[in-house]
Amino acid sequence: MRTQLTPDYLAIGHVTVDLYPDGRPVLGGTALYAALTAARFGLSAAVLTRGNFERYGPEVVEDLARFAREIALIVQEAQSATVFTNRTVAGRREQTIHAWAGTIDLNGLPPHWRSSRVIHLAPVAQEIEPRQASRLNPSYLGVTPQGWMRQWPRGHEGRVRLTQLRLPLELLSRIDGMVLSSAEHTLARDEIEAVGARGLVAITRGADGAQIIDRGRSFEVPAYPVPVQNDLGAGDVFAAVLFLLRAEREPVSFAARMASAAAALRIQGLGPEAVPTRAEVEAFLERRGELRRS
């Protein structure tokens, strides 16, 4: 897809460089995982990001070029990419930020992209200005707010800590769907209540599944027990499937099962390459007798 076309699904946020335990740099970030998910579900997908990836080696640059054959990609110039390391300590993710690409300028969006069918605000490190984002005009606005809840010593690398989510009313009142983790939800109670009363909220809990709040009604969707190779991006894939299917007016229960199945397929592989297709997700559910729209 080229930038002159209006995408079905636009994700905005940093495409990151994630340093794996062996020191290998791998592309990541919610925006990348979400857009690839949308593309592999048959939608035209695009990303607005900011970064400089050349300093992380030819493989990273080649991977970005390869993914750009699936999704339209606008990369605003920066001195660096946003770089993370992640490790699990006592069952909880500990994250360190090593470099930050800076704020994404939403004025850099092509005008027709501002009215994409689905816009997914996917910050990972305070890169989206919420008041700027409130001027976008999608049919469905999805948000994964984790990046607005992260703080670290600016100007230095350091450990990421969570802080209270605070969104302006003009943005909060327009959100149709929001996905956040169990570690984040206690710092976003007001936002969960506001969005969940009239829209859709999912609180993901890894192997324990997710709580879904749909217009005030709450239910659980289980996770599928599968062998885990790497779980980075699983929540991003979950969110993208939930948003795109709800934008297609699929039932919430079906969208949630599809999202859970997509996340299960993602964690069996490594990195963005493991983002599944729609056919793979449907086959996964079909084998379990759960491919029903109710």
Query: 40-78: per-residue pLDDT in tens?
Result: 999 999 999 999 999 899 999 999 999 999 999 999 999
Give domain status of residue 1, yes or no: no
Give domain status of residue 129, yes or no: yes
pLDDT tens profile 174-219: 999 999 999 999 999 999 999 999 999 999 999 999 999 999 999 9
Give domain status of residue 184, yes or no: yes
Q: Across residues 251-263, what is the average pLDDT?
A: 98
Chain centroid to Cα 96, Å, comes to 19
What is the pLDDT at residue 91? 67
Give domain status of residue 292, yes or no: no
Using a pLDDT cut of 70, give the percent of the chain over it.
Answer: 98
Q: Which domain holds residue 171?
A: 9-287
The model's pTM: 0.96
Pairing status of strand 16-19 against strand 82-89: parallel
CA nearest to 35, candidates 77, 62, 75: 75
What is the pLDDT at residue 154? 79
pLDDT band at 270; cut points 50, 70, 90: confident
- Residue 83 belongs to a domain with what CATH number? 3.40.1190.20
What is the pLDDT at residue 30? 98
What is the pLDDT at residue 88? 75
pLDDT tens profile 72-92: 999 999 999 999 998 877 667
CA nearest to 133, candidates 166, 110, 104: 104
Give domain status of residue 237, yes or no: yes
What is the pLDDT at residue 124? 98
For residue 83, give every residue at least 6 positions away whose Cβ sits within 8 Å of its Cβ, in sequence order, or none: 16, 17, 18, 19, 25, 56, 97, 98, 99
Give domain status of residue 120, yes or no: yes
Give domain status of residue 188, yes or no: yes
pLDDT at 171 over 90: yes
Give domain status of residue 4, yes or no: no
pLDDT band at 93; cut points 50, 70, 90: confident
Structurally, the chain folds into a number of domains equal to 1
What is the pLDDT at residue 2? 62
For residue 90, give every residue at least 6 positions away whose Cβ sits within 8 Å of its Cβ, in sequence order, or none: none
